[in-house]
């Protein structure tokens, strides 16, 4: 099933680039592709993953990660969420888990559990946007760096982080296995390839 889902993802990218029109604005085409990639990734986890998003640095300063495309997320969350990734140490409190995953280029898995009537997160830097007395919309989430080749670099093995792909679930341990982590890395690499091609193609 995993292999079939990855093949479907590759087919999606092939169809997009085959239809690429030179010297056009490819923003919507790329968003459509990435939304399809998110749906392909969610299918890998069956009914256990409810929401997904891809966050990229905003422009022109690139100091915050913002949601660029998403699947299953309410518009108010898409508009509200942002995580600091700039150089100001005094604003690190606004990094959140996603910002830390981006800056450190490390996958972060968080679990949200209820302790004495209060919902708590086991991942440092978590930002709660609602009261910690109310049940969250998810019980675990994972933030995976979208790492690919550094464009324009003369170094053959140089890499850069394009952004973060995030998945939410109500099932606490869905992302904890080695298999899940490998699948997440595969999908993040495909997303990195699509973003790199978006910058390179005319």
Q: pLDDT digit string (tens) for 130-151?
A: 666 677 889 999 999 999 877 6
**Greater pLDDT, 75 or 19:** 75
pLDDT of residue 175: 95
State how far the Cα of 175 lies from the Cα of 141, in Å rounded to an integer: 8
- pLDDT (mean) for 2-16: 66
Q: What is the pLDDT of residues 163-199, one digit of tens each?
A: 999 999 999 999 999 989 988 988 898 888 888 877 7
pLDDT value at position 164? 97
pLDDT digit string, tens, across residues 93-131 = 999 999 999 999 999 999 999 888 888 999 989 988 766
Q: Could you tell me which of 145, 148, 143, 137 has the C-alpha nearest to residue 124?
A: 143
Bridge partners (DSSP) listed for residue 142: 109, 167
Give me the count of residues in the chain.
202
Q: Could you say which architecture CATH assigns to the domain 2-200? A: 2-Layer Sandwich (3.30)
Most confident of 2-11, 13-22, 144-153, 177-186: 177-186
Strands 159-169, 51-57: pairing kind: antiparallel
Binning pLDDT at 50, 70 and 90, where does residue 4 land? low
Q: Coil, helix or strand for 114?
A: strand
Query: For the segment 45-85, what is each residue's pLDDT rounded down to a tens digit?
Result: 888 998 999 999 998 788 999 999 999 998 988 999 999 99
The pLDDT value recorded for residue 94 is 94
Per-domain boundaries in the chain: 2-200
Q: In whole angstroms, what is the distance from residue 20 CA to residue 13 CA?
A: 11
Whole-number Å distance between alpha carbons of 122 and 101? 15
Which residues have CB under 8 Å from 5's CB, separation 6+?
40, 41, 43, 44
Helix (H, G, I), strand (E, B) or coil at 133: coil
- Average model confidence (pLDDT) across the chain: 84
The reported pTM is: 0.86
Tokens representing residue 83 in the block: 């995580």
- Per-residue model confidence (pLDDT) at position 5: 63
């Amino acid at each position: 099933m995993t292999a079939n889902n990855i093949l479907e993802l590759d087919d999606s990218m092939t169809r997009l680039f085959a239809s690429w029109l030179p010297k056009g604005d490819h923003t919507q085409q790329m968003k459509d592709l990435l939304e399809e990639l998110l749906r392909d990734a969610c299918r890998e986890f069956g009914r256990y993953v409810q929401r997904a998003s891809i966050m990229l640095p905003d422009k022109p300063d690139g100091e915050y990660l913002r949601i660029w495309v998403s699947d299953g997320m309410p518009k108010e969350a898409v508009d509200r969420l942002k995580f600091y990734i700039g150089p100001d140490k005094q604003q690190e409190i606004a990094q959140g888990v996603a910002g830390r995953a981006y800056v450190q280029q490390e996958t972060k898995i968080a679990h949200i559990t209820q302790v004495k009537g209060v919902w708590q997160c086991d991942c440092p830097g978590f930002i709660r946007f609602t009261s910690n007395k109310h049940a969250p919309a998810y019980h675990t989430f994972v933030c995976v760096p979208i790492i690919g080749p550094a464009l324009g670099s003369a170094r053959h093995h140089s890499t850069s982080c394009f952004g973060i792909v995030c998945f939410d679930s109500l099932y606490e341990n869905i992302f904890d296995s080695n298999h899940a982590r490998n699948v997440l890395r595969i999908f993040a690499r495909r997303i990195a390839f699509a973003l790199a091609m978006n910058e390179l193609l005319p």
